Amino acid sequence: MAYSDKVLDHYQNPRNVGSLDKNDPNVGTGVVGAPECGDVMKLQIRVDDSGKIVEAKFKTYGCGSAIASSSLATEWLKGTSVDAAAQIKNTQIVEELSLPPVKIHCSVLAEDAIKAAIEDWRTKKSALSGKSALSGIAAEAKS
């Protein structure tokens, strides 16, 4: 089985490799894995106040297709809104990278990682707004 040129390109020159501070409230982190093949994918997004993804980073331990899928995902994520990012489907990744059927699970992993990162960011956001709501009640009770 031969890798497509696009997979090779992402594999040899992966985009946006690295990490963001996972404790930053504006950063969402998704870590997912495929136990059968021992692949792990970490994908992180930094979201601004308007809900736009301003930065995306990844680290992947796995085959060329897994690396390419996550590298491509970070390219697509940057500059898009969180809501649009949530709509990204693994089939789009398959199409763009011409992944063969045996490598489709790599694109599924990338989609899962995107969803997990968004979920993490949303959880952080709602926890924060929950806190400020609580402090509001306390302030009212005091006055």
47 binds another protein (CB under 8 A): no
Q: Is 37 an active-site residue?
A: yes
Among 7, 14, 28, 29, binds another protein (CB under 8 A): 29
Count the residues of the shown chain that bind another protein, applying the rule CB under 8 A: 14
Question: DSSP labels for 17-40?
Answer: BS---TTSTTEEEEEEEETTTTEE
Contact 90, 104 (CB under 8 A): yes
Q: Is 106 an active-site residue?
A: yes
Among 116, 118, 121, 124, binds another protein (CB under 8 A): 116
Contact 20, 74 (CB under 8 A): no
Burial group, residue 31, by CB count within 10 angstroms (0-12, 13-18, 19+): middle
Q: Which part of the chain contacts another protein (CB under 8 A), choosing from 1-9, 36-44, 86-94, 130-138?
A: 36-44
Contact 120, 92 (CB under 8 A): no
**Least distance to another protein, CB of residue 61, Å:** 4
DSSP character for 3? Answer: P
72 binds another protein (CB under 8 A): no
14 binds another protein (CB under 8 A): no
Among 6, 15, 52, 59, binds another protein (CB under 8 A): 59
Among 31, 64, 84, 122, binds another protein (CB under 8 A): 31
Token code pair at residue 59: 């680290």
- The SS3 assignment for 71 reads helix
* Contact positions vs another protein (CB under 8 A): 29-36, 38, 40, 42, 59, 61, 116
Catalytic residue numbers? 37, 106
